[in-house]
Chains A and B, each alone.
Chain A
Amino acid sequence: MRLSMPARLARFAMATGLVLSVGAPAAAPVAAADDKVLRIGVLQDLDSTNPYGTILGVGYEAYQLTYEKLVGFGQNIEPIPAFASSWSRSEDGKSWVFKIDPNKKWSDGTPATSADACFSWQLDLDAQKTGDSVGAGYIDYALGPNGSRVTKVECPDPQTMIIYTDDASNRVLQTYIPILPKHIWGKMNYKQIGDDKFDPPDDGSGLVGSGPYLAVEWKTGEEIRFKRNPNYDGHKGVEDEIVFRFFKTNESLVQALKAAEIDYAHNISPEQFKALKGEPNIQVVNGVLNGWTELGFNTYGTGTGKTIKGGGPSTKALLDPAFRDALGYAIDKQKLIDSVIGGLGEIGTTQIPPAMPGVPGHPTWHTEPTNIRTFNIDLAKQKLDAANYGLDSSGRRLDHEGKPISLSLVMPDSDANYAKAGQFITDWFAQLGIKVSPQVLDSDTLYARMLPPEGGKEGKADYDLFIWDWSWGPDPNDALDVFRCDEVGVSSDSLYCNPDYDKLYDQQLVAQTPEERQAILDQMQQMFYDQAPYHILYYNDNLDAYRTDRFGGWQNQPANGVPFMGGFDTWGETQLTDVVVAPSPTAAPSGQAPASGGPSTGGSNPPASGGTGTETSSGGIPVLPIAVVIVVVVVVAGFLAMRRNAARTADDDEDE
């Protein structure tokens, strides 16, 4: 699954769980034995604690615990104070002024000021100006032409930051740039921070940030541990520590939840979801996912007329919207939802998911298209005939060149559900006389196979159909962007190119009000649905589960989402309370935690080098094995020696 910045979700992770543990032996983190620890289980394996180095959802969740953004996301993805305590827009709309609380502190006690914010934003601006990216490139693009189009940042005094942009939207408030402490990071430039070999400066005391919990220990393949930031000035959760535990399989994740080894399991399967429903002290939650699963078409050549020698779509029919439209009537999306994802999803239509958050006053950008297709094989056949894709004498559907249509269907192995959906689709299309050959490949191989020449000289885009998924950030631009002509060879896998679509995109980019933007987005959604470079199969749910016998105050973000790892912010982790009612057979989350008050003096400790920072220890393991091995060897040797002696003395005298 390809994830858009910043909403990386665990489905991708199931295949790529990598954990990095920096092996310097260090003492286990100092903490009182009665500290309350929140243990979250995930299937992803953290790759880096550097906000610019990680490409995984768990990495985003991790860095947002330590580093605040300028503006945070509240329960309904509305902007709330984070590093900045308040903000306003200038009359002419060309700049924003952000105020920082004079009492704000980093976790190490150093005052946090606008200088930190300007430094952090300037890193990304510097990269944008040279056309570069910072590290993995997921964060800085948001300041660019498809994002908030920031031109300059200024900090005239320690409490004030001014951001200049003529972008009419409020995308500036949805930026994921982490505010890094200048007194620790200040000597570095964006090239250094994004470099593969970047080893952030570390004074050995853990990461310094202004967020609610600071990363203090990371053992790759195992877990990353966070401790409460005493100087955090936002809402305080009841937990003193948070641990993300990395699991390799779904089964072990859920077993650990049932055995109370963890408190929260992120990304369980639909079967597990159903099985956990009756479990005492466990609450399952299916939240909306800002993304979808699609059946995509290789439409390479649409709008450009280009072809690929030895590759590309196997028939020109794929470039014909009438053909794609007809096939849409041969897909029973409700059946797929029921059979493949256990009924836990919604029928897919447009490329802006219903879960995509709107802006204050404009709750959603999604619009259902007109003329929604129904599942009707006969109608599909009629439409194919009407578009001149008739049958030959052996019942095979022919394209306009007279060739029988035979389509390859490729899917990544990162989710077993793709193959299931693919099987249904193969059968349905067979009824139309179209042969489909499904094939599951590992994600990396698939990526290489789907690359067009624009993406790499060896790219052949040798595929016809594919099933994959996407999940998105808070602004629709990401989701709209993937179908633009420019994205062929970059992020587009439908290889679609429609100048009319691109024109609309450019118009909505400079829309002056949400209403104006919505009108254009309606057109774009209708065009997408009619042209169908993808058939969006479903908007599948986020499935998580948590225990209710140690923590209460579980809040979803958004309200119809999930508490943690929902892909927006680490708001949920700051809302937990103690359990108020005793654990009972029916999960009964307790009520609100007492508010911890507003702006506080956030303090932060010297950020242990952004990236790996924390010299993650292996918890003293090097001593352990030696001790254990010695014990066992001694025991075994002793046992053997004893047997030998006993046998010898029991023997008659004899020569050996």
Chain B
Amino acid sequence: MGPRYLARKVIQTIVTIVFVLILNFLLFRMMPGGPEGILLRNPHITAETKAAARARWGLDKPLIPDQLVDYVEATAAGDLGFSYKFRGTPVIEVIGARFWPTIILIGLAELIAIVVGLALGAQAGWKRGGTLDRVGNGASLILYSMPYFVIGMPLIIIFAAELGWFPTSGMLTPGAHYDSFLDQLLDFLHHLVLPLATVSLGLIGGYSILMRSSIIDTRSEDYVTTARAKGLTDRTVLRAHAFPNALLPTVTVIAINLGYVVAGAITAEIVFSWPGLGTLTYDALQTRDYPLLQGIFLLISVAVIVANLGADLLYGRLDPRVRTA
């Protein structure tokens, strides 16, 4: 694709990110209440101390332009500030420590959901009306409509609480000591199974349905009929002709979804007390920890927007019909 196309897309991306940044900033501060509500909920605190805290947090200056300008300047310089709740810790550190648990859980779940969901959907759509289709489609619809905690809680009750095969929550065993890295890895994987199953199941449904309908559309295309007329096996037609074309709309959805990976499936994380960005966001919202919220949403916005950019570019490559000059 042409350099002009690429450049245009990148600039669009940057502009969108800046816009979202500003919007995030304003939205959070428009929420009723402020950090001093929770953080200064001290019956003995004096009005002076409260005022000093507000000054320290820069909340006594006018919202626009002072606070906004301060924020944009600092962010551009890479300074995300200090958390209000986790006093003494920079926002980057707070987020950094919670980043990987979410990436692993949601990233792997997306991977599994993509592979399994697309394969299932393609097969179901190809043999439309067949057993796999009828059973699979029903199951997919059910899973697609279930929120993560509705999937997760029965899994915990059956496989963790009753059968005891897996831990009930958390990322590692409380207070465990590991003799080797392998032990720790195994413990981690042991804890990963149920949350991973939960999020994967939640995503598979959606991808499967999407792929199925896409394949059904593709089946009736002329080039598929041609391929069959040429004597190619059913299998080859699906794999080499129908599937790639049916993939196009799905790719867009997947790419955008990947951006949300960093938001972490909040409800899934909460059900499993998984120490990721999802639970962090929930907690930061409760305490109006503005710097932390801004940092998290900056991360999410960038991820979604970049994933969008990726989808655009990928689409440009996959589909020769898209003009990319």
Contacts and interface: CB of A to CB of B under 8 A. Distances in A.
A510 to B, nearest CB: 19
A350 interface: no
Given A19-B275, A651-B235, A444 B38 contact: yes
B97 A23 contact: yes
Interface string A258-295: 11011000000000000000000000000000000000
Given A47-B87, A131-B48, A443-B38, A18 B283 contact: yes
Contacts of B275: 19, 21, 219-222
A5 B174 contact: no
Contact of A137 (B44, B175, B184): B44
Nearest to A135: B87
Interface in B210-233: 230-233
A650 B231 CA distance: 14
A546 to B, nearest CB: 14
Given A23-B97, A53-B87, A449 B32 contact: yes
Nearest to A487: B43
B178 A28 contact: yes
A252 interface: yes
B15 interface: no
B101 A198 contact: no
A48 B286 contact: no
Interface string A619-653: 11111110111001100100010001001001110
Contacts of B89: 20, 22, 199, 612
A50 B88 CA distance: 9
A221 B46 contact: no
A258 B97 CA distance: 29
Contact of B86 (A18, A31, A624, A629): A18
B87 A221 contact: no
Interface of chain A, helix or strand or loop or mixed?
A: loop
A647 B44 contact: no
Interface stretch (B1-9, B107-115, B296-304): B107-115
B144 interface: no
B180 to A, nearest CB: 10
A162 interface: no
Contacts of B161: 255, 258-259
Given A196-B84, A259-B164, A490-B43, A622 B100 contact: yes
Interface in B58-109: 82-89, 93-94, 96-98, 100-101, 103-104, 107-108
A447 B41 contact: yes
A606 interface: no
A17 interface: yes
A246 interface: yes
A632 B44 contact: no
Which range contains the number of B residues in contact with the other chain?
35 or more
Interface string A19-37: 1111100001101110101
A222 B280 CA distance: 11
A48 B177 contact: no
A198 B87 contact: yes
B82 A261 contact: no
B88 A612 contact: yes
A102 interface: no
A624 B167 contact: no
Nearest to B53: A196
Given A220-B98, A243-B174, A47 B48 contact: no
B43 A481 contact: yes
A49 to B, nearest CB: 9
A645 B94 CA distance: 46
B316 interface: no
Contacts of A650: 233, 235
Q: 4 closest Cβ contacts across the A-B interface?
A: A23-B97, A491-B43, A221-B275, A243-B175
Given A19-B275, A624-B188, A627-B185, 9 more contacts: A23-B96, A23-B97, A221-B275, A248-B270, A259-B160, A259-B167, A448-B34, A611-B88, A651-B233
28 contacts: A19-B275, A20-B85, A20-B89, A22-B97, A37-B175, A48-B86, A55-B38, A133-B45, A137-B45, A220-B280, A243-B175, A245-B174, A246-B273, A251-B153, A252-B272, A252-B273, A442-B286, A444-B33, A444-B38, A449-B32, A490-B47, A616-B97, A620-B181, A624-B100, A627-B185, A628-B104, A650-B233, A654-B232
